[in-house]
Amino acid sequence: MNKRQIMYVERKAGALEGPARIGWVTFSKTGKTIRYNGQSFQSLKGRGFKSNYIDIETGDEYWISGVRRDRQDRLYGGGLHNVEIDDDAKEEYARLIQR
């Protein structure tokens, strides 16, 4: 079974901040691919600027990370301003940040 985890996913596409969501992602068996909302991402292995993953299909760059208890999930701060939380992730997200 593939590992499943709540993560922060922000599309960068050449901007400091982009559309962002918090939701369940799954990892491939090898851990090299992350899947979220029908998209597949691979690590840039430190080669990204303001990003750490790339959408395999579109080439768009993303910042993907574990959620933070202080709710400062955006790479450059800003908290959860304009960040949507998937309905199926809200309960688990609340539990994670209240630990």
pLDDT of 51 reads: 79
pTM above 0.95, yes or no: no
For 34-93, how does the pLDDT look when each residue is reduced to its tens digit (9 = 90+)?
999 999 999 988 676 677 899 999 999 999 998 988 888 877 666 566 789 999 999 999
Print the domain residue range for 42: 4-91
Residue 1: is its pLDDT beyond 60? no
Tell me the sheet residues that pair with 53: 43, 62
In a domain, 99, yes or no: no
In a domain, 96, yes or no: no
Element (H, E) at 98: helix 90-98
How far is CA 61 from each of CA 2, 16, 99, rounded to the nearest angstrom? 23, 11, 31
22: number of CA atoms within 13 Å, CB side?
25
For 4-28, how does the pLDDT look when each residue is reduced to its tens digit (9 = 90+)?
999 999 998 777 788 899 999 999 9
Domain count, the chain: 1
